[in-house]
A and B are shown apart, each in its own frame.
Chain A
Amino acid sequence: MAGPVVSSDAAADSQAKISADIEEISRDYAASGAVETQPRIDYAPYRSSILRHPTKDLHHADPETIELWAPAFGQRDVHALESDLTIQGGGEPIGERMTVRGRVLDGDGRPVRHQLVEIWQANAAGRYIHKRDQHPAPIDPNFTGVGRCLTGADGSYSFTTIKPGPYPWKNHHNAWRPAHIHFSLFGTDFTQRMITQMYFPGDPLFDLDPIYQAIVDPQARERLVATYDHDTSAHEWSLGYVWDIVLTGSHRTPTEEDTDV
């Protein structure tokens, strides 16, 4: 192996080949009658997953001590202004100003309160601030694409940002990622930790994208798509999207503080 990323960056396959593979897996899933809610980790159309997924089944563990708790974050960690990605430079970033808001809930419907939410995204032209991003689209000097917030007592979060652009990548020839915002989430116990991506309604790239399609269940995929919400849009200012996030269930018996809304 010449280098660790070469094999997946070769971009040898056509979209038609990748799409055919996606379709075949999708047909097999539909015929199986099973219901899956998470992505496959073994999903060959996403080329770099081939050598990076465990082949053995995940081993069942009953959570103990430390796993029944999550790290705590507070105002010391996150400044209130970090949830506004449009004020981090000397001027206004270019693009479509938007708000994305929603709630973080656990699998029992309880709000995840005062917990850390981190996001990162491309700018309006589809470019990240990252040395490995070689996409010849402009960097916006007024936009880092990075934000953080703490959820409120009702599990709510809100970010002001710029709508990210789609961008090319090297999974296959002419591969483009649908526009998305990366989200990193913590729950009330360690086992709920997750990282995911939020998408925008009606993206024409959905069917072509092996990362999105690695969630083989159509209904499960939909859970990553935000809803346009006109009440969240602000007059002569920004467009609004709503996206709620559900973590897996907590394993710790809820305390009064967890449940008392």
Chain B
Amino acid sequence: MSEQLVPTPGQTIGPFYGYALPYEGGEHLVDRSDPRAVRLHGTVYDGHGEPIPDSMLEIWQADADGTVSQEPGSLLRDGYTFTGFGRVAVDNAGHYDFTTVNPGASEAGKAPFIAMTVFARGLLNRLFTRIYLPEDGEALARDPLLASLPEGRRETLIAEREPDGSLRFDLRLQGDGETVFLSYPNHRPGDPA
């Protein structure tokens, strides 16, 4: 029954998603009182190094033990179930905050990462990236994606661990230190985005 269909084009999220997409609790994958809670935060910058105040970010990640959740309830959290999905609109200074857990490795020996999707006014199609945890140097060194990146670009995908345990991950859509954004095999070759 399978036939290859041409994907529908994407379009910018535009400026007016604020009443529609962000939702209460979207940025809290776990409660801040959870003993495993980790702050993941950063700023989204444009090509002039100015913060972008109208960007929306989503994360999707495994639980602390590496389990991929298939539980519903991300939009109306019950406070107990880890759904693995979060969404946040950046503030007027382009800054975002998630409360989550450090993802575990879903396969032994693999470097765990958080998958992220970036939307913004002015950004004509969504961008995908990964946020790696900085700790497991050996797993990072073995990671096929990181290994395929030149020195200098690799670091854009590795979060910084702050003294209080927070993860810091800034996004630069353009220019110096431009974040590595990803395409996947089924995004047809030749497509610019």
- Shortest CB–CB separation between residue B178 and chain A, in angstroms? 6
Residues of B within 8 A of A259 (CB): 1
Which residue of A is nearest B72, CB measured? A74
- Shortest CB–CB separation between residue A157 and chain B, in angstroms? 13
Residues of B within 8 A of A65 (CB): 62, 66, 68, 106-107, 110
| Number of A residues with CB within 8 Å of any CB on chain B | 90
Q: Does A26 contact B (CB under 8 A)?
A: no
Residues of A within 8 A of B186 (CB): 107, 191, 248-251
- Shortest CB–CB separation between residue B90 and chain A, in angstroms? 11
Q: Which of B2-10, B30-38, B162-170 contacts A (4 or more CB under 8 A)?
A: B2-10
What sequence of 0s and 1s flags, for each residue 196-219 of chain A, a beta carbon within 8 Å of any chain B beta carbon?
Answer: 110000000000000110110000
State the CA gap A239–B120 with chains docked (Å).
32
Q: Does A246 contact B (CB under 8 A)?
A: yes
Find out whether the CB atom of A40 lies under 8 angstroms from the CB atom of B192.
Answer: yes
Residues of B within 8 A of A67 (CB): 115, 184
Q: Does B61 contact A (CB under 8 A)?
A: yes
Find out whether the CB atom of A78 lies under 8 angstroms from the CB atom of B75.
Answer: yes
Q: Which of A1-9, A90-98, A227-235 contacts B (4 or more CB under 8 A)?
A: A1-9
What sequence of 0s and 1s flags, for each residue 127-165 of chain B, a beta carbon within 8 Å of any chain A beta carbon?
Answer: 110100000000000001100110001000000000000
Which residue of A is nearest B62, CB measured? A66
State the CA gap A51–B144 with chains docked (Å).
30
Contact of A39 among B11, B72, B120 (CB under 8 A): B11
Find out whether the CB atom of A59 lies under 8 angstroms from the CB atom of B149.
Answer: yes
Residues of B within 8 A of A261 (CB): 1
- Shortest CB–CB separation between residue B28 and chain A, in angstroms? 15
Known contacts A130-B18, A146-B20; A51/B174 CB under 8 A: yes
| Size class of the contact patch on chain B | 35 or more
State the CA gap A239–B60 with chains docked (Å).
38
Residues of A within 8 A of B53 (CB): 4-5
Which residue of A is nearest B103, CB measured? A66
State the CA gap A261–B51 with chains docked (Å).
46
Q: Does B64 contact A (CB under 8 A)?
A: no
Find out whether the CB atom of B9 lies under 8 angstroms from the CB atom of A37.
Answer: yes
State the CA gap A181–B62 with chains docked (Å).
33
- Shortest CB–CB separation between residue A116 and chain B, in angstroms? 8
Residues of A within 8 A of B60 (CB): 66, 69-71, 190
State the CA gap A75–B73 with chains docked (Å).
8
Which residue of B is nearest A49, CB measured? B122
Known contacts A51-B122, A71-B74; A224/B7 CB under 8 A: no
Find out whether the CB atom of A77 lies under 8 angstroms from the CB atom of B76.
Answer: yes
- Shortest CB–CB separation between residue B121 and chain A, in angstroms? 6
- Shortest CB–CB separation between residue B34 and chain A, in angstroms? 19
Contacts of A130-155 to chain B: CB distance below 8 A: 130-133, 144-146
State the CA gap A69–B75 with chains docked (Å).
18
Residues of A within 8 A of B121 (CB): 48, 52
Contact of A191 among B9, B70, B128, B149 (CB under 8 A): B128
13 contacts between A and B (CB under 8 A): A1-B50, A50-B47, A54-B173, A59-B181, A66-B61, A66-B84, A72-B69, A75-B72, A76-B78, A195-B10, A197-B11, A212-B11, A215-B9
- Which residue numbers of B lie inside 8 Å of A, CB to CB? 1-21, 46-48, 50-54, 58, 60-62, 66, 68-76, 78, 83-85, 94, 103, 106-107, 110, 113-115, 117, 119-128, 130, 144-145, 148-149, 153, 173-175, 178-188, 190-193
- Which residue numbers of A lie inside 8 Å of B, CB to CB? 1, 4-5, 8, 34-43, 46, 48-56, 58-67, 69-78, 105-110, 116, 118-120, 122, 128-133, 144-146, 182, 184, 190-191, 193-197, 211-212, 214-215, 220-221, 223-224, 245-251, 259, 261
